[in-house]
Structure 1
Amino acid sequence: MTIDNNNEILNFFKNNGYVNNNNNSYDIINEINNMNVMVYGVKIDKNYLTTFGPSNPLTIAITKKKEKILDCLLNICNSLELNLNCHKRYKDSLIYHAISSNNSKILLKVLSYPNIRVDIFDEDDYNTALHHYCRKFKSPEDCQEIINIMIERTNDLNRINGKGKTPLHKAILNDSIRLMLVHSLIENGARLNVFNYFDYTPLHCAIKLGRCDVILKLLKNGADISIQRNNSPSSYQLSIQLDSPNVLKLINNYLNLSSFLDRHRLSNYLLQFLKRDILYSNLNEVNQDILIEMGLQKENALLILKFLNK
């Protein structure tokens, strides 16, 4: 592993206290032994690479968004077969710092390191890396690839944190990539009707935040608008209390469609309508071909069309 005349990497080690002499060999690794890594003529204790405090070179490279340097350091760690999961708290982990960087390239580099864990958590709040990513990560670049990797590696997609929140609860709070996150979590089996310790399901959270895009996505996949726990309101009751015009319009549109299908004994087809973005307000856009494609018998399709004066 040689990078000739790479001043960026050399200056990084100098500026962060890892170089203290003038023996500036161009080899990234001059010597590897049982205790130390030799970088630019200076021995670095392996503990620096596996203890993720403020002086850890990996942490500094991530914080300063030095991608080439991070690559170099990860290659060193990999050549030494270092375990980068040697931390007691999630907030001390390499992946925590990578997610906090809000840099997709850096996070992908860390995720590509062998055996990096995403299911670790802190005992104070029980947030995992997946909770953290879903809530805090903002960059849309490569976000689909990242969430796919994290979902594949997690032991429990529905793990609750210290407040009873699943990654789906947290994704709804994301200001930037929430719809992609919600879609990916649902497609991979996230449970929709889990109450957190405040008696809110993900649908409650979406309604409270007025996020109609997420509300519709949850309803399309079978979120229950009527369930409640203890003395807290159902998500429908919450929408009435909050009196958000756009949310109420969407909810009433959904309920009117549901009632219409119930009257015609076609409630089993509710999700079929929703997944085609057909609500009560645009019900007149359906035709016989669409209804047959949904699986309705011809007589039921004709009954609906007759009601719609088609």
Structure 2
Amino acid sequence: MKEISIGIIGCGAIGLKHIQNFSSMDGIKEIMICDASEKRLNFIKRKFKISKAFTSVEDIVQNSDALCISTPNSLHFTHALEAINAGKDVLVEKPMTTISSDAEKLVEEAEKRKVILAVGCQKRFNKDYQHLKATIHQGRIGKPIFVRARMLIEGPYRGWKAIGDWWYSKEFGSGALIDTGSHMIDLILWIFPFSVTRVSGFLGKNMDLPVEEYAFCILGLENNLTAILELGWFTKNDEKLEVVGTMGGIEAKNKLGFRDYLVSKLKLNKDEWYFQDRAFVMSVLRRKIVPPLSTGMDGLKVVRIVERIYEQSQLPQ
């Protein structure tokens, strides 16, 4: 079996999850890491027995066959574009970018250079969501009419263990809508491949943060389908997707466990994250996207919708 070297740019909580996944699968001959913190690089090198570590994005791009980008949101575009321009395949964490013009540029350049561009939307690999999609497409609930999507995570409240405060920064392109909404919007568009014809949203916050802590959004899709999204950073993790049709309904829940991403508690667990990363490796080896991996065009659609919601919503002062 052919093997590739993969470089992980950004070694925060999510980057560590990718390192864990790639360390446990076939098709990987070497893992390299890149981060701005040499202290963090040294710690991860010891933890995972990694020999090559860089503080320069240019260096890891030149030395890797493919790149996994898990840096703060506003850096996704710059790092992904550098990798694509070097002819490297890329898996970039959601959101693909923070503005649609940047996402369009990535899709355009990836197509021009014939490289794989995938987006980290691991919810597609959740078995319950896959079952929900199959049930709907089998016609068992009739014509879908109404969707309710919820994703609440701990955010800045008690128990949250994210590394770094960029999560709560406008400069780095964060906020509850772009953070959790990117997942649930992608999930809805994956299950229902319809165009979104209208959007509305409400942003709110309880703490003194420069970004929204929660968002309520309504998406109007073709075929008279309406989706309501409840998104936010709260004290209890809660995620589910409910679809109601003319003949019945179906609901899928996903228990979140962000604490499992901490280095001290990392376990070998072949979950939806693992199967997403595995699909990316297989896409690189086969030279085509392996479904249901999210493509660059999928990522662009999500960024456009999030952008539209932000444009017509106002965060209270």
Asked if these proteins are the same fold (TM beyond 0.5), I'd say no
Structure with more strand by fraction: 2
The bucket for the TM-score relative to the shorter chain is under 0.3
- In terms of Rg, which structure is larger? 1
TM-score w.r.t. structure 2 length?
0.25
Structure with the bigger RCO (C-alpha within 8 Å, sep 6+) is 2
